[in-house]
Every structure is written in structure tokens, then in C-alpha cells.
Amino acid sequence: MQANIIISKPVKTLKGTIQLTGSKSECNRALIIEALSKGMVKVENMSDAADAVTLSYQLSVVGGQLESQRVNSQLTTDNSQLVDIGPAGTAMRFLTAYLPLQNQEFTLTGTRRMQQRPIGILVDAMSKLGAHIEYELNEGYPPLNIKPGFEQKTNTISIKGDVSSQYITALLLIASSLPQGLTLQIEGELTSKPYVEMTLAMLQQTGIQYTWEGNSIHIANQPFAETTLVIEPDWSAASYWYAIAALCDEAELFLPALKPYSLQGDSVITEIMANFGITSQFKDGGVYLQKQVKPILRKVFDMKECPDLAQTVIVVCAALGHDATFTGLETLKIKETDRIAALQNELAKIGVKLIEKGQVYKLDCSGKHIPEKVTIHTYEDHRMAMAFAPLALIVPQVEVEDPMVVEKSYPAFWKDLEKAGFVVNSIA
């Protein structure tokens, strides 16, 4: 079992340069596009996030680039090819759409938590398209048995807009490879729209044209163009540095290679953190963060289009004693953990309540207190670890359980904290 760590920050200032890994979101999309393109699309600046590494590896096995590994240890007792993505939720969604097109038999599985995360909506959509997918244990959940013999039955699929955007992205990624193409009818309001826009923009970069009119997205059958996709650094990773800056007395930090006009919806962190006095200046091929002391006026934060920033922003508000209200958190309960329950449990350790009223969540900081030490449980969720780490700027000692969960999206996080002046110690 891995050791817990204790983090502290004796000096409440931040200065320097932090080089972030490539975007996990962009990289996972690029890897599927690369695999579908059969050599026409190349990927540069690969993310070293565990999710991206896992997806890259499994696509190599499926594609036969790792033939000996595939033969020696990747076959199940029924001779289907085992594809185990561990805790990588994006890989589960994207491969559920990708593997039925490969004309082989696969067993697609993951961790115990992954087997509790719903996949039924996407399986239903793929089955309507012509895929042969069966549930091995529980209806609507992994593991999946995927049979060969895909023959497209329809070119139109309806899917609810308020489910995970990864379901929609998974279908859009394979659309141009379907013999009849695909028209996706989105029912109701679209949650996490920037992630869908990212997918379409990346497809367009690789020569795939689309139309989006009203709630209908259409992609015809068409070939990929010869392209290189260069992955931008991860704005989700950048968000933790914005949170740290917001809790510092003084902050001047440079994050190289981040762009002002990013495909990543999480780049909205620049606007959100402006409410906490963090200015973002794009120059010298990156972004400079600077802290300016100002009163916090904004009371309502809508996280519908950037749910992966929710924990970060909620913890910053709690740390500052700011009684904010949050909306757009509907998808947080089906992530790596139930992130609402996890936030409520851990914020209670500093006396802050996150109160749920329908689809509105209110912070009550009236009982906030600063203990000498707080221990944060991470629930096998990388974002819980990184969202709560900035508390070390207000709590003398923050102990983090299972700290290596950060490998899922930002493996160098703890080392980067040390570069920035945090003290990070492992404990038995």
C-alpha cells in the first residue's frame, strides 16, 4: 500500500515556471482519431497522464503493434481479446464505440469502480447502429463482451444532451468511419458543450467535415487527411495552479504553451479565477498568472460546461470562506467517485457544508475553522487529491491519502508542488 503524504507551504507566495503535461482530453481524442485514420494522423506532445498512456497501450494491443503481448497475456478463457482499461473512464467510453468496428471479439473491462459506472446509454446507441455488445455481469455496466460482425443498421441516433459528453464524443469520433456516416440528434440541453466542440474541432483539423444545425450534428462517411495533431498542455492541470495562486498572499507564475484560444473548455478557469483576483496575461508563448487582492463579488458559479473544475473552485471558495452557490453539477455523481458526497465529507473537516437543494448547491462557511492538520481521503479520484492540496496554504499540515491517484491525469503534480516551494513528505 502506498504511503500517505503530508504537504505544507510555510511561505504563502508563489513564483516560477511550471511545465504542464499534454491535455488528457485532447490526447484521448487524438489517439482514437489516429487509430481510426490507419496511419494518416500522427499525435505529438502525448500526455503522460495514466488515462492517456492506458488508452495508447490498449490501442496498440488491439491494432497488433504489440503482438507478443496480445498473444501471451491478453486473451480470456473464451478467446476474446481482453482490454482492461483500469480506472480510465474516457477510455471505457471511447473504446465502447471503437472496438465494435474492429471485427474481433473483445472483453472490455476495468476496475471495480469502473464496473459501477453506467455505460448503458452508449451501448444502446452502438447496438442500434449495428454493434453486438453483451453485458457480462450487470445490465448497463461493464464488463462488456463485444462481438465481431458490425453492420450499420441506421445512420441516425438520438441521445440525451444531459448525459456525459463522452458518450456523444465517442459516437462523433467513429462517425466518419461508419459506412453511412452518422446524424446525432441531441435531446434537450447539451451538458459540457465545450467538450463536444473540442471533438468536432479536432476532427476538422484532420479533414473531417461536419454540420451542426440546432440539435443535430451530421458527419458523412469520409477519409481522414494526413495531419499531425499537437496536444496543448492541460488546462485542467492549470486549474490547480490558479487555485494555489488564489490562496496565496502573492503569486507570479508562468505556464508555458497554454493558448488564449484553446479547444479545452477548462480554459474558462481564467475567467472564473479573475473573480478571486488572478489575472491571466498571454505572452511569451504561455500564460502569466498574477495575484491582485480584490473583494470576491460573484456568488453564483455555473459549472455545467466545465464540471471538471467544480471541485477546484468549490474548495477555493470554502478555503476563503466565500458562501457561493453552484449549478451544473449533475454529472459529478457518476465520475471516479460520487464527487458531491466526497466534497461534502472532506469540506466538513474544515467546518464547511455543501448543501444540496435540487440541482443547486450552496456553500455554508459559517462554521469554518482552521485545524492544525487535516487528512483528506481521495476516494480513488485524482481531482479530489489535487483540488484539496491547495488547502496547505491555510491549514499548516494537509495529509493526503492515496496520493498516487494523481497519475491518472497529472503524474508530476507532487513534484511540481515541491518546485513551487511546497514541502511534500511521505509518511509510513
Residues classed as catalytic: 308
Query: How many other C-beta atoms can be found within 10 angstroms of the C-beta atom of residue 50?
Result: 21
Listed residue (40, 88, 42) closest to 231, CA to CA: 42
Contacts of 156 (CB under 8 A, 6+ apart): 182, 183, 184, 185
C-alpha 177/C-alpha 379 separation (Å) is 38
Angle at 368 between CA 362 and CA 372, to 5 degrees: 140
C-alpha 7/C-alpha 393 separation (Å) is 9
At 426, give phi and psi (nearest 5°).
-80, 145
Handedness of CA 331, 337, 339, 341 (dihedral sign): positive
Listed residue (218, 221, 276, 215) closest to 244, CA to CA: 276
DSSP helix/strand/coil, 77: coil
C-alpha 81/C-alpha 86 separation (Å) is 15
Q: How many residues belong to the chain? A: 428
C-alpha 337/C-alpha 38 separation (Å) is 35
DSSP label of 372: S
DSSP helix/strand/coil, 63: coil
C-alpha 277/C-alpha 316 separation (Å) is 12
Cell numbers 437543494 correspond to 357
At 17, give phi and psi (nearest 5°).
-130, 135
C-alpha 147/C-alpha 156 separation (Å) is 22
Q: Please give the distance of CA 7 from its chain centroid, rounded to a whole number.
A: 24
Instruction: Give the E-state strand segments of 331-422 in sequence order.
Output: 353-357, 360-364, 373-376, 397-400
What torsion do the CA atoms of 65, 20, 24, 63 make, to the nearest 10 degrees? 0
